[in-house]
Structure 1
Protein backbone atom coordinates (compact mmCIF):
# COMPACT_ATOMS: atom_id res chain seq x y z
CA UNK A 1 0.00 0.00 0.00
CA UNK A 2 1.20 3.51 -0.76
CA UNK A 3 1.06 4.62 2.86
CA UNK A 4 2.29 8.16 3.57
CA UNK A 5 5.51 6.88 5.15
CA UNK A 6 6.38 4.83 2.04
CA UNK A 7 5.78 7.84 -0.21
CA UNK A 8 8.04 9.85 2.14
CA UNK A 9 10.79 7.27 1.58
CA UNK A 10 10.36 7.58 -2.18
CA UNK A 11 10.43 11.41 -2.06
CA UNK A 12 13.47 11.34 0.24
CA UNK A 13 15.22 8.97 -2.14
CA UNK A 14 14.63 11.27 -5.13
CA UNK A 15 15.79 14.32 -3.12
CA UNK A 16 18.83 12.45 -1.83
CA UNK A 17 19.83 11.44 -5.36
CA UNK A 18 19.42 15.05 -6.57
CA UNK A 19 21.58 16.32 -3.68
CA UNK A 20 24.31 13.95 -4.89
CA UNK A 21 24.04 15.16 -8.49
CA UNK A 22 21.62 12.57 -9.89
CA UNK A 23 18.60 14.56 -11.07
CA UNK A 24 15.49 12.75 -12.33
CA UNK A 25 14.88 13.18 -16.09
CA UNK A 26 18.21 15.00 -16.42
CA UNK A 27 20.94 12.42 -15.88
CA UNK A 28 18.98 9.58 -14.28
CA UNK A 29 15.71 7.86 -15.21
CA UNK A 30 13.57 6.66 -12.31
CA UNK A 31 10.75 4.22 -13.02
CA UNK A 32 8.49 3.94 -9.95
CA UNK A 33 5.85 1.24 -9.74
CA UNK A 34 3.64 0.32 -6.78
CA UNK A 35 2.36 -3.18 -6.08
CA UNK A 36 -0.46 -1.67 -3.94
CA UNK A 37 0.29 -4.19 -1.20
CA UNK A 38 -0.27 -7.18 -3.51
CA UNK A 39 2.59 -9.73 -3.52
CA UNK A 40 1.59 -11.23 -6.88
CA UNK A 41 1.75 -7.75 -8.42
CA UNK A 42 5.13 -7.17 -6.74
CA UNK A 43 6.44 -10.36 -8.38
CA UNK A 44 5.19 -9.20 -11.81
CA UNK A 45 6.81 -5.76 -11.38
CA UNK A 46 10.07 -7.39 -10.21
CA UNK A 47 10.21 -9.59 -13.32
CA UNK A 48 9.44 -6.59 -15.53
CA UNK A 49 12.20 -4.50 -13.96
CA UNK A 50 14.71 -7.35 -14.27
CA UNK A 51 13.79 -7.68 -17.96
CA UNK A 52 14.64 -3.99 -18.45
CA UNK A 53 18.11 -4.56 -16.93
CA UNK A 54 18.39 -1.28 -14.95
CA UNK A 55 21.59 -0.06 -13.27
CA UNK A 56 19.99 -0.65 -9.86
CA UNK A 57 16.61 -1.66 -8.41
CA UNK A 58 15.42 -0.01 -5.17
CA UNK A 59 12.82 -2.04 -3.28
CA UNK A 60 10.66 -0.40 -0.59
CA UNK A 61 9.17 -2.78 2.07
CA UNK A 62 9.84 -6.44 2.83
CA UNK A 63 7.45 -8.08 0.29
CA UNK A 64 8.73 -5.88 -2.56
CA UNK A 65 12.32 -6.69 -1.60
CA UNK A 66 11.61 -10.42 -1.41
CA UNK A 67 10.01 -10.31 -4.86
CA UNK A 68 12.97 -8.45 -6.40
CA UNK A 69 15.62 -10.62 -4.73
CA UNK A 70 13.84 -13.77 -5.98
CA UNK A 71 13.75 -12.33 -9.52
CA UNK A 72 17.46 -11.50 -9.93
CA UNK A 73 20.78 -12.71 -8.62
CA UNK A 74 22.93 -10.23 -10.58
CA UNK A 75 21.19 -6.83 -10.97
CA UNK A 76 22.22 -4.58 -8.04
CA UNK A 77 19.41 -4.25 -5.47
CA UNK A 78 19.16 -1.70 -2.64
CA UNK A 79 16.33 -2.38 -0.16
CA UNK A 80 14.80 0.06 2.30
CA UNK A 81 12.11 -0.02 5.04
CA UNK A 82 12.70 -3.75 5.55
CA UNK A 83 12.35 -4.54 9.26
CA UNK A 84 14.26 -7.84 9.45
CA UNK A 85 16.17 -8.52 6.21
CA UNK A 86 17.91 -11.56 7.73
CA UNK A 87 14.69 -13.35 8.71
CA UNK A 88 13.13 -12.32 5.38
CA UNK A 89 16.15 -13.98 3.66
CA UNK A 90 16.91 -10.79 1.71
CA UNK A 91 20.54 -10.81 2.93
CA UNK A 92 22.49 -13.34 5.00
CA UNK A 93 24.52 -10.79 6.99
CA UNK A 94 24.71 -7.03 7.54
CA UNK A 95 28.51 -6.97 7.25
CA UNK A 96 29.60 -7.51 3.65
CA UNK A 97 26.28 -9.13 2.70
CA UNK A 98 27.74 -10.62 -0.52
CA UNK A 99 25.69 -11.24 -3.64
CA UNK A 100 23.80 -8.39 -5.31
CA UNK A 101 21.86 -6.94 -2.36
CA UNK A 102 22.37 -4.34 0.40
CA UNK A 103 20.22 -1.68 2.06
CA UNK A 104 18.63 -0.08 5.10
CA UNK A 105 16.49 -1.72 7.82
CA UNK A 106 13.73 0.23 9.59
CA UNK A 107 13.76 -2.07 12.64
CA UNK A 108 12.39 0.16 15.38
CA UNK A 109 13.90 0.55 18.85
CA UNK A 110 10.96 -1.19 20.54
CA UNK A 111 12.48 -1.00 24.02
CA UNK A 112 12.70 2.79 23.83
CA UNK A 113 9.17 3.02 22.47
CA UNK A 114 7.79 0.91 25.31
CA UNK A 115 9.71 3.04 27.83
CA UNK A 116 7.75 6.07 26.54
CA UNK A 117 4.45 4.14 26.88
CA UNK A 118 5.35 3.32 30.52
CA UNK A 119 6.24 6.95 31.22
CA UNK A 120 2.90 8.22 29.89
CA UNK A 121 0.80 5.31 31.28
CA UNK A 122 2.64 4.53 34.54
CA UNK A 123 -0.01 2.02 35.68
CA UNK A 124 0.58 -0.10 32.56
CA UNK A 125 0.16 -3.77 33.37
CA UNK A 126 -1.41 -5.17 30.21
CA UNK A 127 -0.45 -3.97 26.74
CA UNK A 128 -2.57 -4.78 23.70
CA UNK A 129 -0.71 -5.44 20.47
CA UNK A 130 -2.39 -4.94 17.12
CA UNK A 131 0.04 -7.47 15.50
CA UNK A 132 2.78 -9.64 16.96
CA UNK A 133 6.23 -8.05 17.41
CA UNK A 134 9.16 -9.58 19.27
CA UNK A 135 8.67 -7.73 22.52
CA UNK A 136 10.25 -8.44 25.86
CA UNK A 137 7.09 -9.54 27.66
CA UNK A 138 8.61 -9.80 31.11
CA UNK A 139 7.70 -6.33 32.35
CA UNK A 140 4.02 -6.52 31.52
CA UNK A 141 1.49 -8.90 30.07
CA UNK A 142 0.63 -8.60 26.38
CA UNK A 143 -2.56 -9.51 24.57
CA UNK A 144 -2.40 -9.80 20.80
CA UNK A 145 -5.21 -8.96 18.41
CA UNK A 146 -4.53 -9.74 14.78
CA UNK A 147 -5.99 -7.58 12.04
CA UNK A 148 -6.39 -9.83 9.02
CA UNK A 149 -6.89 -7.29 6.22
CA UNK A 150 -8.02 -3.67 6.18
CA UNK A 151 -11.67 -4.39 6.93
CA UNK A 152 -10.83 -6.10 10.23
CA UNK A 153 -8.59 -3.41 11.74
CA UNK A 154 -11.30 -1.57 13.71
CA UNK A 155 -12.73 -4.84 15.05
CA UNK A 156 -9.25 -6.01 16.07
CA UNK A 157 -8.76 -2.76 18.00
CA UNK A 158 -12.21 -3.03 19.59
CA UNK A 159 -11.33 -6.59 20.64
CA UNK A 160 -8.63 -5.19 22.97
CA UNK A 161 -10.84 -2.59 24.68
CA UNK A 162 -11.42 -3.34 28.37
CA UNK A 163 -8.73 -6.03 28.41
CA UNK A 164 -5.66 -3.77 28.21
CA UNK A 165 -4.25 -0.57 29.75
CA UNK A 166 -2.91 0.64 26.40
CA UNK A 167 -2.69 -0.44 22.74
CA UNK A 168 0.62 -0.53 20.84
CA UNK A 169 0.82 -0.80 17.04
CA UNK A 170 4.21 -2.00 15.74
CA UNK A 171 5.32 -1.40 12.13
CA UNK A 172 2.34 -2.87 10.31
CA UNK A 173 1.24 -1.44 6.96
CA UNK A 174 -2.23 -3.04 7.18
CA UNK A 175 -3.05 -1.33 10.48
CA UNK A 176 -1.47 1.96 9.36
CA UNK A 177 -3.59 1.96 6.20
CA UNK A 178 -6.75 1.96 8.38
CA UNK A 179 -5.25 3.85 11.30
CA UNK A 180 -8.02 6.46 11.64
CA UNK A 181 -10.40 3.62 12.56
CA UNK A 182 -8.05 2.58 15.37
CA UNK A 183 -7.75 6.18 16.63
CA UNK A 184 -11.55 6.45 16.73
CA UNK A 185 -11.87 3.27 18.82
CA UNK A 186 -9.12 4.50 21.18
CA UNK A 187 -10.67 7.95 21.64
CA UNK A 188 -14.25 6.65 21.96
CA UNK A 189 -13.24 4.10 24.61
CA UNK A 190 -10.52 6.18 26.35
CA UNK A 191 -7.87 3.54 25.60
CA UNK A 192 -4.36 5.04 25.24
CA UNK A 193 -2.95 4.28 21.77
CA UNK A 194 0.76 4.18 20.88
CA UNK A 195 2.62 3.32 17.73
CA UNK A 196 6.05 2.47 16.29
CA UNK A 197 5.86 5.09 13.57
CA UNK A 198 6.02 8.90 13.54
CA UNK A 199 3.32 9.56 10.93
CA UNK A 200 0.68 7.77 12.96
CA UNK A 201 1.35 10.07 15.93
CA UNK A 202 0.37 12.93 13.63
CA UNK A 203 -2.72 10.87 12.74
CA UNK A 204 -3.75 10.37 16.38
CA UNK A 205 -1.51 8.00 18.37
CA UNK A 206 -0.20 9.49 21.62
CA UNK A 207 3.56 9.11 21.11
CA UNK A 208 6.50 7.23 19.67
CA UNK A 209 10.25 7.28 19.30
CA UNK A 210 10.73 7.00 15.57
CA UNK A 211 12.33 7.89 12.26
CA UNK A 212 11.74 10.54 9.67
CA UNK A 213 11.06 8.38 6.61
CA UNK A 214 12.22 11.16 4.29
CA UNK A 215 15.62 10.87 5.98
CA UNK A 216 15.51 7.10 5.45
CA UNK A 217 14.99 7.74 1.72
CA UNK A 218 17.98 10.09 1.68
CA UNK A 219 20.12 7.52 3.48
CA UNK A 220 19.04 4.92 0.91
CA UNK A 221 20.04 7.33 -1.89
CA UNK A 222 23.60 7.21 -0.55
CA UNK A 223 23.63 3.45 -1.12
CA UNK A 224 22.19 3.84 -4.63
CA UNK A 225 24.87 6.39 -5.58
CA UNK A 226 27.66 4.09 -4.35
CA UNK A 227 26.26 1.34 -6.59
CA UNK A 228 25.89 3.72 -9.55
CA UNK A 229 29.54 4.67 -9.09
CA UNK A 230 30.60 1.05 -9.43
CA UNK A 231 30.65 -0.49 -5.95
CA UNK A 232 29.15 -3.98 -5.61
CA UNK A 233 26.15 -4.16 -3.22
CA UNK A 234 27.66 -7.26 -1.62
CA UNK A 235 30.69 -5.19 -0.54
CA UNK A 236 28.59 -2.44 1.09
CA UNK A 237 27.51 -3.12 4.70
CA UNK A 238 23.73 -3.01 5.15
CA UNK A 239 22.59 -0.97 8.15
CA UNK A 240 19.89 -0.46 10.74
CA UNK A 241 18.51 3.09 10.51
CA UNK A 242 18.27 3.14 14.32
CA UNK A 243 22.08 2.86 14.54
CA UNK A 244 22.36 6.36 13.06
CA UNK A 245 22.33 8.41 16.29
CA UNK A 246 20.67 11.42 14.66
CA UNK A 247 17.81 9.39 13.18
CA UNK A 248 15.56 8.97 16.25
CA UNK A 249 13.24 11.58 17.72
CA UNK A 250 10.34 11.63 20.18
CA UNK A 251 6.95 12.58 18.69
CA UNK A 252 3.87 13.38 20.82
CA UNK A 253 0.22 14.18 20.06
CA UNK A 254 -1.04 15.85 23.25
CA UNK A 255 -4.41 16.82 21.71
CA UNK A 256 -5.27 13.23 20.83
CA UNK A 257 -3.94 12.05 24.22
CA UNK A 258 -6.46 14.35 25.92
CA UNK A 259 -9.29 12.72 23.90
CA UNK A 260 -8.11 9.35 25.26
CA UNK A 261 -8.17 10.69 28.81
CA UNK A 262 -4.38 10.87 29.08
CA UNK A 263 -2.27 13.80 30.25
CA UNK A 264 1.22 13.65 28.76
CA UNK A 265 3.81 14.45 31.49
CA UNK A 266 5.88 17.61 31.05
CA UNK A 267 9.03 15.47 31.21
CA UNK A 268 7.93 13.82 27.96
CA UNK A 269 6.72 17.02 26.26
CA UNK A 270 10.01 18.79 26.99
CA UNK A 271 12.01 16.02 25.22
CA UNK A 272 9.74 15.87 22.15
CA UNK A 273 11.08 16.93 18.77
CA UNK A 274 7.50 17.53 17.60
CA UNK A 275 4.26 17.99 19.57
CA UNK A 276 1.10 17.73 17.45
Structure 2
Protein backbone atom coordinates (compact mmCIF):
# COMPACT_ATOMS: atom_id res chain seq x y z
CA UNK A 1 0.00 0.00 0.00
CA UNK A 2 1.34 3.42 -0.90
CA UNK A 3 1.55 6.05 1.85
CA UNK A 4 1.94 9.73 0.98
CA UNK A 5 4.80 11.69 2.50
CA UNK A 6 2.28 13.98 4.28
CA UNK A 7 0.66 11.01 6.08
CA UNK A 8 4.09 9.64 6.98
CA UNK A 9 5.08 12.98 8.52
CA UNK A 10 1.92 13.08 10.64
CA UNK A 11 2.59 9.56 11.94
CA UNK A 12 6.21 10.35 12.82
CA UNK A 13 5.24 13.63 14.53
CA UNK A 14 2.43 12.00 16.56
CA UNK A 15 4.72 9.20 17.66
CA UNK A 16 7.32 11.70 18.84
CA UNK A 17 4.71 13.58 20.86
CA UNK A 18 3.52 10.41 22.57
CA UNK A 19 7.02 9.28 23.43
CA UNK A 20 7.91 12.74 24.66
CA UNK A 21 4.84 12.88 26.86
CA UNK A 22 5.60 9.47 28.36
CA UNK A 23 9.18 10.45 29.03
CA UNK A 24 8.19 13.73 30.62
CA UNK A 25 5.63 12.12 32.96
CA UNK A 26 8.06 9.44 34.14
CA UNK A 27 10.69 12.05 34.92
CA UNK A 28 8.26 14.14 36.97
CA UNK A 29 7.09 11.17 39.05
CA UNK A 30 10.63 10.03 39.67
CA UNK A 31 11.64 13.49 40.82
CA UNK A 32 8.70 13.70 43.21
CA UNK A 33 9.46 10.25 44.60
CA UNK A 34 13.10 11.09 45.24
CA UNK A 35 12.15 14.34 46.96
CA UNK A 36 9.75 12.65 49.39
CA UNK A 37 11.74 12.02 52.58
CA UNK A 38 11.12 12.04 56.33
CA UNK A 39 11.42 15.81 56.57
CA UNK A 40 8.69 16.43 53.99
CA UNK A 41 6.18 13.80 55.13
CA UNK A 42 3.19 14.85 57.22
CA UNK A 43 2.91 12.48 60.17
CA UNK A 44 -0.23 11.61 62.07
CA UNK A 45 0.41 11.46 65.83
CA UNK A 46 -2.16 9.97 68.17
CA UNK A 47 -2.20 11.50 71.66
CA UNK A 48 -3.78 9.66 74.58
CA UNK A 49 -3.98 11.53 77.89
CA UNK A 50 -5.72 10.27 81.01
CA UNK A 51 -7.00 13.63 82.28
CA UNK A 52 -6.63 17.38 81.84
CA UNK A 53 -4.30 19.07 84.31
CA UNK A 54 -1.38 21.50 84.01
CA UNK A 55 1.48 19.01 84.36
CA UNK A 56 0.23 16.65 81.66
CA UNK A 57 -0.65 19.58 79.42
CA UNK A 58 2.87 20.97 79.83
CA UNK A 59 4.34 17.56 78.93
CA UNK A 60 2.26 17.52 75.74
CA UNK A 61 3.40 21.06 74.89
CA UNK A 62 7.02 19.97 75.33
CA UNK A 63 6.48 16.94 73.10
CA UNK A 64 5.03 19.05 70.29
CA UNK A 65 7.83 21.62 70.61
CA UNK A 66 10.50 18.92 70.17
CA UNK A 67 8.89 17.72 66.95
CA UNK A 68 8.50 21.29 65.72
CA UNK A 69 12.16 22.10 66.49
CA UNK A 70 13.22 19.01 64.53
CA UNK A 71 11.23 20.12 61.48
CA UNK A 72 8.67 17.31 61.78
CA UNK A 73 5.36 18.20 60.12
CA UNK A 74 2.64 16.54 62.18
CA UNK A 75 -1.07 16.62 62.80
CA UNK A 76 -2.25 15.53 66.24
CA UNK A 77 -5.31 13.50 67.15
CA UNK A 78 -5.65 14.41 70.84
CA UNK A 79 -8.06 12.39 72.98
CA UNK A 80 -8.58 12.84 76.74
CA UNK A 81 -10.03 10.03 78.86
CA UNK A 82 -11.18 12.39 81.66
CA UNK A 83 -9.98 9.91 84.26
CA UNK A 84 -12.09 7.03 82.88
CA UNK A 85 -10.02 3.89 82.26
CA UNK A 86 -12.67 2.33 80.03
CA UNK A 87 -12.56 5.46 77.86
CA UNK A 88 -8.77 5.20 77.95
CA UNK A 89 -8.95 1.74 76.40
CA UNK A 90 -11.39 2.94 73.74
CA UNK A 91 -9.09 5.84 72.87
CA UNK A 92 -6.12 3.51 72.36
CA UNK A 93 -8.17 1.20 70.14
CA UNK A 94 -9.45 4.12 68.07
CA UNK A 95 -5.97 5.55 67.55
CA UNK A 96 -4.67 2.20 66.36
CA UNK A 97 -7.64 1.78 63.99
CA UNK A 98 -7.06 5.23 62.52
CA UNK A 99 -3.55 4.22 61.43
CA UNK A 100 -1.48 6.80 63.26
CA UNK A 101 2.28 6.81 62.70
CA UNK A 102 3.07 7.04 66.43
CA UNK A 103 1.20 7.21 69.73
CA UNK A 104 2.18 9.67 72.46
CA UNK A 105 0.83 8.24 75.73
CA UNK A 106 0.73 10.86 78.47
CA UNK A 107 0.37 9.01 81.83
CA UNK A 108 0.74 5.44 83.05
CA UNK A 109 -2.88 4.34 82.32
CA UNK A 110 -2.66 5.87 78.85
CA UNK A 111 0.58 4.02 78.12
CA UNK A 112 -0.77 0.73 79.44
CA UNK A 113 -3.88 0.99 77.26
CA UNK A 114 -1.82 1.85 74.19
CA UNK A 115 0.60 -1.02 74.81
CA UNK A 116 -2.33 -3.43 75.06
CA UNK A 117 -3.83 -2.11 71.82
CA UNK A 118 -0.80 -2.50 69.53
CA UNK A 119 2.56 -4.20 69.24
CA UNK A 120 3.28 -2.62 65.86
CA UNK A 121 2.77 1.15 66.11
CA UNK A 122 5.60 2.93 68.00
CA UNK A 123 4.55 4.29 71.41
CA UNK A 124 6.35 7.03 73.29
CA UNK A 125 5.22 7.70 76.86
CA UNK A 126 5.84 10.33 79.48
CA UNK A 127 4.39 11.17 82.92
CA UNK A 128 4.94 7.52 83.87
CA UNK A 129 6.43 6.84 87.30
CA UNK A 130 7.44 3.16 87.20
CA UNK A 131 7.71 1.90 83.63
CA UNK A 132 9.01 -1.52 84.66
CA UNK A 133 6.47 -2.03 87.44
CA UNK A 134 3.67 -1.00 85.09
CA UNK A 135 4.92 -3.73 82.72
CA UNK A 136 5.44 -1.25 79.91
CA UNK A 137 9.10 -2.15 79.34
CA UNK A 138 11.36 -5.07 80.15
CA UNK A 139 13.98 -2.79 81.71
CA UNK A 140 14.94 0.88 81.75
CA UNK A 141 18.07 0.19 79.71
CA UNK A 142 16.52 -2.22 77.19
CA UNK A 143 12.79 -1.52 76.81
CA UNK A 144 12.11 -4.21 74.20
CA UNK A 145 9.01 -4.14 72.03
CA UNK A 146 7.46 -1.04 70.49
CA UNK A 147 7.39 1.30 73.50
CA UNK A 148 9.75 3.61 75.41
CA UNK A 149 9.74 7.14 76.81
CA UNK A 150 10.51 9.34 79.80
CA UNK A 151 9.46 8.89 83.42
CA UNK A 152 8.38 11.50 85.96
CA UNK A 153 10.30 10.03 88.90
CA UNK A 154 13.76 11.28 89.76
CA UNK A 155 15.57 8.79 92.02
CA UNK A 156 16.34 11.51 94.59
CA UNK A 157 13.00 13.35 94.62
CA UNK A 158 11.18 11.31 97.27
CA UNK A 159 14.21 10.95 99.56
CA UNK A 160 14.89 14.70 99.42
CA UNK A 161 11.24 15.40 100.19
CA UNK A 162 11.13 13.12 103.21
CA UNK A 163 14.41 14.51 104.57
CA UNK A 164 13.06 18.04 104.17
CA UNK A 165 9.88 17.22 106.09
CA UNK A 166 11.80 15.55 108.91
CA UNK A 167 14.91 17.72 109.22
CA UNK A 168 13.54 21.15 108.29
CA UNK A 169 9.87 20.94 109.35
CA UNK A 170 10.23 18.43 112.21
CA UNK A 171 7.45 16.23 110.80
CA UNK A 172 6.62 12.95 112.49
CA UNK A 173 3.81 11.66 110.25
CA UNK A 174 2.96 12.10 106.58
CA UNK A 175 -0.54 11.97 105.10
CA UNK A 176 -0.86 10.67 101.53
CA UNK A 177 -4.03 10.92 99.45
CA UNK A 178 -3.92 8.79 96.30
CA UNK A 179 -5.81 6.54 93.92
CA UNK A 180 -4.76 2.98 94.73
CA UNK A 181 -5.98 1.96 91.29
CA UNK A 182 -3.14 3.89 89.65
CA UNK A 183 -0.06 1.68 89.61
CA UNK A 184 2.29 4.67 89.52
CA UNK A 185 0.70 6.03 92.71
CA UNK A 186 0.90 2.74 94.59
CA UNK A 187 4.59 2.52 93.66
CA UNK A 188 5.32 5.98 95.06
CA UNK A 189 3.43 5.37 98.32
CA UNK A 190 5.28 2.10 98.82
CA UNK A 191 8.60 3.90 98.22
CA UNK A 192 7.75 6.47 100.88
CA UNK A 193 6.74 3.81 103.40
CA UNK A 194 9.94 1.85 102.81
CA UNK A 195 12.07 4.96 103.18
CA UNK A 196 10.42 6.10 106.42
CA UNK A 197 11.13 2.82 108.20
CA UNK A 198 14.60 4.15 109.00
CA UNK A 199 13.51 7.74 109.69
CA UNK A 200 11.22 7.31 112.70
CA UNK A 201 8.26 8.64 110.70
CA UNK A 202 4.90 7.11 109.81
CA UNK A 203 2.57 7.25 106.81
CA UNK A 204 -1.21 7.60 106.94
CA UNK A 205 -2.95 6.60 103.70
CA UNK A 206 -6.25 7.91 102.34
CA UNK A 207 -7.36 6.20 99.15
CA UNK A 208 -9.77 7.66 96.56
CA UNK A 209 -11.43 6.36 93.41
CA UNK A 210 -12.52 9.63 91.80
CA UNK A 211 -11.67 13.31 92.12
CA UNK A 212 -14.97 13.83 93.96
CA UNK A 213 -13.57 11.77 96.87
CA UNK A 214 -10.45 13.87 97.34
CA UNK A 215 -11.63 16.48 99.85
CA UNK A 216 -13.30 13.99 102.17
CA UNK A 217 -10.25 11.70 102.05
CA UNK A 218 -7.99 14.62 102.94
CA UNK A 219 -10.22 15.61 105.86
CA UNK A 220 -10.02 12.04 107.15
CA UNK A 221 -6.31 12.62 107.83
CA UNK A 222 -6.86 15.56 110.18
CA UNK A 223 -5.60 14.84 113.68
CA UNK A 224 -3.52 11.93 112.43
CA UNK A 225 -0.71 13.71 110.57
CA UNK A 226 1.47 16.81 110.91
CA UNK A 227 2.45 16.98 107.23
CA UNK A 228 1.22 15.85 103.81
CA UNK A 229 2.80 14.68 100.59
CA UNK A 230 0.75 14.69 97.40
CA UNK A 231 2.47 12.59 94.77
CA UNK A 232 1.99 12.69 90.99
CA UNK A 233 -1.41 11.01 91.18
CA UNK A 234 -3.64 11.99 88.25
CA UNK A 235 -6.91 11.68 90.20
CA UNK A 236 -5.77 13.74 93.19
CA UNK A 237 -3.83 16.37 91.24
CA UNK A 238 -6.91 17.04 89.09
CA UNK A 239 -8.69 18.08 92.32
CA UNK A 240 -5.65 19.54 94.10
CA UNK A 241 -7.40 22.69 95.32
CA UNK A 242 -9.51 20.52 97.62
CA UNK A 243 -6.37 19.21 99.33
CA UNK A 244 -4.74 22.64 99.47
CA UNK A 245 -7.73 24.24 101.18
CA UNK A 246 -7.83 21.55 103.90
CA UNK A 247 -4.06 21.62 104.45
CA UNK A 248 -3.72 25.40 104.61
CA UNK A 249 -6.78 25.95 106.79
CA UNK A 250 -5.33 23.49 109.30
CA UNK A 251 -1.73 24.81 109.02
CA UNK A 252 -0.40 21.51 107.69
CA UNK A 253 2.66 21.84 105.43
CA UNK A 254 2.01 19.98 102.19
CA UNK A 255 4.81 18.91 99.89
CA UNK A 256 3.85 17.99 96.33
CA UNK A 257 5.30 15.92 93.53
CA UNK A 258 5.70 18.49 90.75
CA UNK A 259 6.04 22.22 90.16
CA UNK A 260 2.59 22.94 88.74
CA UNK A 261 1.13 21.80 92.06
CA UNK A 262 3.40 24.32 93.82
CA UNK A 263 2.03 27.09 91.62
CA UNK A 264 -1.49 26.01 92.54
CA UNK A 265 -0.75 26.32 96.27
CA UNK A 266 1.35 23.39 97.45
CA UNK A 267 4.16 24.41 99.79
CA UNK A 268 7.12 22.96 97.88
CA UNK A 269 8.40 20.26 95.57
CA UNK A 270 11.66 18.64 94.67
CA UNK A 271 11.06 18.16 91.02
CA UNK A 272 11.45 19.11 87.41
CA UNK A 273 9.48 20.74 84.63
CA UNK A 274 6.96 18.47 82.91
CA UNK A 275 7.57 20.46 79.75
CA UNK A 276 11.15 19.16 79.85
CA UNK A 277 10.28 15.46 80.12
CA UNK A 278 7.70 15.95 77.38
CA UNK A 279 10.35 17.58 75.21
CA UNK A 280 12.78 14.72 75.88
CA UNK A 281 10.05 12.25 74.90
CA UNK A 282 9.52 14.25 71.73
CA UNK A 283 13.21 13.98 70.87
CA UNK A 284 12.87 10.21 71.12
CA UNK A 285 9.83 10.31 68.84
CA UNK A 286 11.80 12.28 66.25
CA UNK A 287 14.47 9.57 66.07
CA UNK A 288 11.78 6.95 65.54
CA UNK A 289 9.85 8.91 62.90
CA UNK A 290 13.05 9.59 60.97
CA UNK A 291 13.90 5.89 61.02
CA UNK A 292 17.08 6.42 63.01
CA UNK A 293 16.01 4.27 65.98
CA UNK A 294 13.34 1.83 67.10
CA UNK A 295 11.66 2.09 70.52
CA UNK A 296 13.45 -1.05 71.68
CA UNK A 297 16.78 0.69 71.06
CA UNK A 298 16.03 3.81 73.15
CA UNK A 299 16.51 3.47 76.94
CA UNK A 300 13.83 4.96 79.17
CA UNK A 301 15.03 8.35 80.46
CA UNK A 302 14.74 9.89 83.92
CA UNK A 303 14.29 13.67 84.41
CA UNK A 304 17.56 15.48 83.84
CA UNK A 305 17.14 18.31 86.39
CA UNK A 306 16.06 18.32 90.05
CA UNK A 307 15.53 21.44 92.17
CA UNK A 308 13.48 22.75 95.11
CA UNK A 309 10.64 25.11 94.23
CA UNK A 310 8.56 26.81 96.95
CA UNK A 311 5.36 28.83 97.07
CA UNK A 312 6.09 31.92 99.19
CA UNK A 313 2.43 32.78 99.71
CA UNK A 314 1.74 29.33 101.11
CA UNK A 315 4.82 29.56 103.35
CA UNK A 316 3.48 32.88 104.70
CA UNK A 317 0.06 31.30 105.31
CA UNK A 318 1.73 28.57 107.35
CA UNK A 319 3.95 31.06 109.18
CA UNK A 320 7.05 29.36 107.80
CA UNK A 321 10.37 31.20 107.50
CA UNK A 322 12.25 30.25 104.33
CA UNK A 323 15.94 29.60 105.03
CA UNK A 324 18.70 30.63 102.63
CA UNK A 325 20.30 27.23 103.15
CA UNK A 326 17.40 25.58 101.34
CA UNK A 327 18.54 27.11 98.04
CA UNK A 328 14.91 27.27 97.01
CA UNK A 329 13.51 28.91 93.91
CA UNK A 330 10.03 30.39 93.97
CA UNK A 331 7.01 29.62 91.82
CA UNK A 332 5.42 32.37 89.77
Scaled by the length of structure 1, what TM-score is found? 0.91
Structure 1 vs Structure 2 CA RMSD? 1.5
User: Is 1:171 the equivalent of 2:229?
Assistant: no
Could you list the runs of 5+ residues in structure 2 that have no partner in the other structure?
A: 1-50, 179-185
What does residue range 223-262 of structure 1 map to in structure 2 within 5 Å? Answer: 223-230=284-291, 231-241=293-303, 244=304, 247-262=305-320
Could you list the runs of 5+ residues in structure 1 that have no partner in the other structure?
A: none
Scaled by the length of structure 2, what TM-score is found? 0.76
The 8 Å contact of residues 192 and 262 in structure 1, kept in 2 or not, is answered as: no
Following the alignment from structure 1 to structure 2, what is the Cα–Cα distance between the partners of residues 185 and 17? 41
Pick the aligned partner of 2:206 from 145, 161, 165: 145
The 8 Å contact of residues 85 and 109 in structure 2, kept in 1 or not, is answered as: yes
The structure with the larger Rg is 2
Following the alignment from structure 2 to structure 1, what is the Cα–Cα distance between the partners of residues 83 and 210? 11
Pick the aligned partner of 2:325 from 226, 248, 267: 267
Following the alignment from structure 2 to structure 1, what is the Cα–Cα distance between the partners of residues 294 and 300? 12
Q: 1:116 to 1:275 in 2, by over 3 A?
A: farther
Following the alignment from structure 1 to structure 2, what is the Cα–Cα distance between the partners of residues 248 and 163? 30
Shift of 1:275: 4.3
The 8 Å contact of residues 120 and 265 in structure 1, kept in 2 or not, is answered as: no
User: Is 1:158 the equivalent of 2:231?
Assistant: no
Deviations 1:192-242 (A, max 9, x none): 11111111111111111111011111111111001001121111111222x
Shift of 1:258: 2.0
- Secondary structure of the 2:278 match is helix
Deviations 1:49-80 (A, max 9, x none): 11122221111101110110000011111111
Pick the aligned partner of 2:133 from 83, 87, 111: 87
Moved more, 100-109 or 205-214: 100-109
User: Is 1:21 the equivalent of 2:64?
Assistant: no
Moved more, 145-154 or 168-177: 145-154
Q: Of the two structures, which has the highest relative contact order with CA contacts closer than 8 Å and spacing of 6 or more?
A: 1
The 8 Å contact of residues 201 and 207 in structure 1, kept in 2 or not, is answered as: yes
The 8 Å contact of residues 207 and 252 in structure 1, kept in 2 or not, is answered as: yes
- Secondary structure of the 2:105 match is strand
The 8 Å contact of residues 166 and 172 in structure 2, kept in 1 or not, is answered as: no
- Equivalent pairs, count: 265
Following the alignment from structure 2 to structure 1, what is the Cα–Cα distance between the partners of residues 131 and 331? 32
